[in-house]
């Protein structure tokens, strides 16, 4: 070692002030990690209530109103306070500057502001929870939300609106950083695919989120001031609300899944020790998904009375968006072919992701077909489909990322055997929970009801039991990861033998990421890494 061991970002200050007023992207990522973990727990408690209540056909645990509030809370918290910020704001925040060889994000203070805005939104949500919740569902459909719903709807709308500003600022920061702060030699063609997918995600964050903001503002104004834009009694148009809402909320699905796709590209190449198959295809497919994703929102409204021609176009475009998604799956598989694969926990999570993403994607194709969609609209088939994408896909990738970059973030190695157990438990528990819901939905069980005919009970009990396995799978990492912070072995700079600039600096990295400015001379995933990288 020629250089003295640099001070790590974790040692750069131990006071509360050094954390809460930090502009270091790595520390802000940790702040976000605490925030989203907390809200994941809140959303999970709501999910547990739902699954417990659904154990029996009778309404025994929750009242009708209580059940409505439980699934509304589950949706709002999981979508806006866990899934949307999960991978971008923790791993994206931590890794984007490291991966492109920059000292920080382009606007460090804006980054901190974005966390504070997120936390303010979170506190408003907590107020909503404590004061009794809302029963609108996470979709806030009018006129239910604007006229009829009980509870603190305006506070819930405000919370989501405020969290949106946090998203927009993060998106601006990421795009500007990727454009302007790449290290010398880090051309667009040498960027890790994690960066490409976060770039695509950020475009959606910046361009779709404001539409949600104005829509929720109009709903709030309708509820408080009696504005009538969405009110049919005045000649307003409730379908207009659905158009505006899904114009954001469908692309929002890609905000959740694109970062996960980026994570999996990193995990697959590092585990196979091989260059990604078809780099440019994977990179451009992220942009294609983001672009086409803006044009498919009408597939949420096939039964809402939109014109049959519009429905046909939206159906076609929804099928089209499956093409770039499928290309990625083929490319990951082709990357594994003839690779020397290490079956560590990150690889197991990546494989779990690919399987669940394919299942979620194929059922998405079914739902994009007009005839099938009419049959299964608002049933558990839809619920199962989007949980395969958001939980099976995004959350599995989140855990994969957590294991893969844990040594880099904390400087400690986690216990590998436990990691593998968690990966398998999550995969099994997930399928056990949600596969029965495909069957329930196809047989006609509607979503958002807690009373159901007795013939659906077996599948519902399976689903609830699966959920408890899933819960163990999620709690396990919490235990052994915290244990590793104190007792795990010290991590070397590059424990996986992976390429990528983040593995060339020490674990955990110094405050300004690199001791000397890195200069990039090779393409991404140029395996095996040079000896000085490992």
Partner 1 sequence: MRDPELHEPFHDLARQRETDRFGMWLFLASEIMLFGGIFAASIGLRVVHPRAYVAASQALHLWLGTANTAVLLTSSLLVALAVEAAKSGRPKRVAWLFIGAALLGLAFAAIKGTEYWLEYREGLMPGLSDAAIESGAQRLFMDLYFVSTGLHAVHLTIGVVLLLTLAARALADKLEGMTASNVALYWHLVDIVWIFLFPTLYLARPA
> Residue 42 has which token pair?
């809140």
Which span sits near partner 1 by CB under 8 A: 5-13, 68-76, 238-246, 379-387?
Answer: 238-246
CA distance between the termini of the chain: 13
Per CB under 8 A, does 237 bind partner 1?
Answer: yes
How many residues appear in the chain? 534
Per CB under 8 A, does 176 bind partner 1?
Answer: yes
Burial (Cβ within 10 Å: 0-12, 13-18, ≥19) of residue 180: exposed
Which span sits near partner 1 by CB under 8 A: 144-152, 232-240, 310-318, 322-330?
Answer: 232-240
Instruction: Count interface residues toward partner 1 (CB under 8 A).
Output: 45
In order of 344, 413, 421, 472, 477, the CA distances from 417 in angstroms are 8, 12, 6, 16, 11
Q: Pick from 154, 206, 319, 327: which binds partner 1 (CB under 8 A)?
A: 206
Q: Pick from 172, 365, 372, 465: which binds partner 1 (CB under 8 A)?
A: 172
Per CB under 8 A, does 235 bind partner 1?
Answer: yes
Total Cβ atoms within 10 A of residue 354: 20
CA distance 277 to 168: 33
Burial (Cβ within 10 Å: 0-12, 13-18, ≥19) of residue 376: buried
Q: Pick from 6, 59, 66, 210: which binds partner 1 (CB under 8 A)?
A: 210
Output the smallest distance, CB 217 to partner 1, in A: 8
Per CB under 8 A, does 111 bind partner 1?
Answer: no
Q: Pick from 43, 85, 88, 97: which binds partner 1 (CB under 8 A)?
A: 97
Q: Pick from 14, 180, 338, 490: which binds partner 1 (CB under 8 A)?
A: 180
Chain positions 315 to 374 lying near partner 1, rule: CB under 8 A, are none
Close Cβ partners of 46 (under 8 Å, ≥ 6 residues apart) = 70, 71, 73, 74, 77
Q: With beta carbons less than 8 A apart as the criterion, state whether 75 and 138 touch.
A: yes
180 or 338: CB nearest partner 1: 180
Which span sits near partner 1 by CB under 8 A: 148-156, 174-182, 388-396, 461-469?
Answer: 174-182
Q: With beta carbons less than 8 A apart as the criterion, state whether 206 and 175 touch.
A: yes
Per CB under 8 A, does 394 bind partner 1?
Answer: no
154 or 217: CB nearest partner 1: 217
Unique residue bearing structure tokens 């791993």: 91
Unique residue bearing structure tokens 């009708």: 64
CA distance 80 to 160: 7
Per CB under 8 A, does 214 bind partner 1?
Answer: yes
CA distance 393 to 5: 38
Per CB under 8 A, does 102 bind partner 1?
Answer: yes
CA distance 208 to 118: 17
Q: Pick from 233, 371, 486, 490: which binds partner 1 (CB under 8 A)?
A: 233
Output the smallest distance, CB 226 to partner 1, in A: 5
Q: Pick from 170, 209, 335, 499: which binds partner 1 (CB under 8 A)?
A: 209
304 or 461: CB nearest partner 1: 304
The DSSP output letter for 188 is G
CA distance 488 to 509: 17
Per CB under 8 A, does 219 bind partner 1?
Answer: no
> Residue 421 has which token pair?
């157990």
227 or 341: CB nearest partner 1: 227
The enclosing H or E element of 25 equals helix 25-53
Which span sits near partner 1 by CB under 8 A: 119-127, 204-212, 279-287, 434-442?
Answer: 204-212
Which span sits near partner 1 by CB under 8 A: 208-216, 257-265, 275-283, 416-424?
Answer: 208-216
**CA-closest candidate to residue 50, choices 399, 467, 376, 406:** 467
126 or 240: CB nearest partner 1: 240
Chain positions 483 to 512 lying near partner 1, rule: CB under 8 A, are 512
Residue 134's DSSP bridge partners are 151
Output the smallest distance, CB 17 to partner 1, in A: 18
Close Cβ partners of 524 (under 8 Å, ≥ 6 residues apart) = 190, 191, 192, 193, 275, 276, 279, 499, 500
213 or 498: CB nearest partner 1: 213
Per CB under 8 A, does 479 bind partner 1?
Answer: no
Residues that bind partner 1 in the complex, under the rule CB under 8 A: 23, 97, 102-108, 168, 171-173, 175-176, 179-181, 206-211, 213-215, 217-218, 221, 225-229, 233-237, 240, 243-244, 512, 517
């Amino acid at each position: 070692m020629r250089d003295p061991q640099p001070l790590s970002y974790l040692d750069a200050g131990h006071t509360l002030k050094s954390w809460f007023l930090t502009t270091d992207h790595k520390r802000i990522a940790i702040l976000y990690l605490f925030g989203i973990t907390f809200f994941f727990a809140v959303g999970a408690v709501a999910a547990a209530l739902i699954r417990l209540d659904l154990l029996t056909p009778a309404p025994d645990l929750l009242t009708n109103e209580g059940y409505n509030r439980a699934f509304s809370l589950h949706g709002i918290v999981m979508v806006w306070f866990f899934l949307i910020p999960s991978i971008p704001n923790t791993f994206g925040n931590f890794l984007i500057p490291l991966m492109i060889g920059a000292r920080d994000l382009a606007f460090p203070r804006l980054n901190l502001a974005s966390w504070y805005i997120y936390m303010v939104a979170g506190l408003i949500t907590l107020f909503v929870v404590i004061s009794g919740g809302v029963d609108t569902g996470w979709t806030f459909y009018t006129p239910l939300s604007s006229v009829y719903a009980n509870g603190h709807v305006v506070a819930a709308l405000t919370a989501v609106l405020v969290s949106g500003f946090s998203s927009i600022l993060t998106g601006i920061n990421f795009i500007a950083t990727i454009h302007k702060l790449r290290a010398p030699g880090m051309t667009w063609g040498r960027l890790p695919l994690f960066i490409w997918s976060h770039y695509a995600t950020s475009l959606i964050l910046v361009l779709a989120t404001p539409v949600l903001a104005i829509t929720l503002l109009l709903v709030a104004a309708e509820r408080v001031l009696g504005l009538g834009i969405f009110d049919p009694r005045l000649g307003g148009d409730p379908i207009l609300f659905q158009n505006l809402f899904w114009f954001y909320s469908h692309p929002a699905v890609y905000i959740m899944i694109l970062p996960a796709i980026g994570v999996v590209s990193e995990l697959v190449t590092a585990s196979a020790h091989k260059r990604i198959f078809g780099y440019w295809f994977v990179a451009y497919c992220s942009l294609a998904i983001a672009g086409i994703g803006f044009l498919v929102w009408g597939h949420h409204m096939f039964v809402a009375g939109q014109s049959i021609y519009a429905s046909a176009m939206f159906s076609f475009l929804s099928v089209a968006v499956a093409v770039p998604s499928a290309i990625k799956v083929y490319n990951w598989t082709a990357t594994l072919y003839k690779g020397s694969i290490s079956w560590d926990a990150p690889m197991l999570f990546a494989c779990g992701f690919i399987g669940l993403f394919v299942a979620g994607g194929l059922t998405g194709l079914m739902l994009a077909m007009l005839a099938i969609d009419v049959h299964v609209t608002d049933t558990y088939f839809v619920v199962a489909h989007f949980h395969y994408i958001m939980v099976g896909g995004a959350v599995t990738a989140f855990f994969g990322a957590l294991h893969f970059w844990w040594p880099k973030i904390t400087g400690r190695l986690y216990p590998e055997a436990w990691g593998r157990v968690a990966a398998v438990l999550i995969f099994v528990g997930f399928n056990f929970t949600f596969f029965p819901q495909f069957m329930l939905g196809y047989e006609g069980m509607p979503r958002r009801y807690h009373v159901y005919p007795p013939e659906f009970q077996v599948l519902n009990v399976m689903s609830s039991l699966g959920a408890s396995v899933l819960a163990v799978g999620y709690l396990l990492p919490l235990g052994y990861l915290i244990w590793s912070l104190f007792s795990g072995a010290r991590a070397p700079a590059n424990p996986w033998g992976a390429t990528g600039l983040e593995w060339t600096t020490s674990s955990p990295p110094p405050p300004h990421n690199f001791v000397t400015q890195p200069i990039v001379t090779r393409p991404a995933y140029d395996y095996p890494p040079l000896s000085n990288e490992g």
